[in-house]
Structure 1
Amino acid sequence: MLNYRNALRVGTASCLEETSVDVSYEDGSPDDDDVPRRAIVAVLPPDQETRILMLTTYLNLARCASHVGRNKDAVVCATLAAGIAQHDEHTDHLITAKILRSRAHLAQNHLKQALRDSAAATELAPSDHKSVQLLARDVERAKRAALRANKQLAKEVSTWVQSAQSKFAEQGGNEADCAQQ
Structure 2
Amino acid sequence: MFDPTIYENLKVVFEGAVYDLDLDGQIVVIHRADLMDLAAMSRSYAIRFRLKDGHSSAEIRLSAGLTDLAGEKLEWRNARPGCGLEIVFSLMLRNPVTACRNIQDILQQIWDIGTAVVQTLSFRYGDDGSRCHNEIAVRFDRKIGESQVSDIPDLLEHTVRTLRQLEPYHTEE
Structure with bigger strand share is 2
TM-score by length of 1: 0.24
Whose Rg is larger?
Answer: 1
Greater length-normalized contact order (CA 8 Å, ≥ 6 residues apart): 2
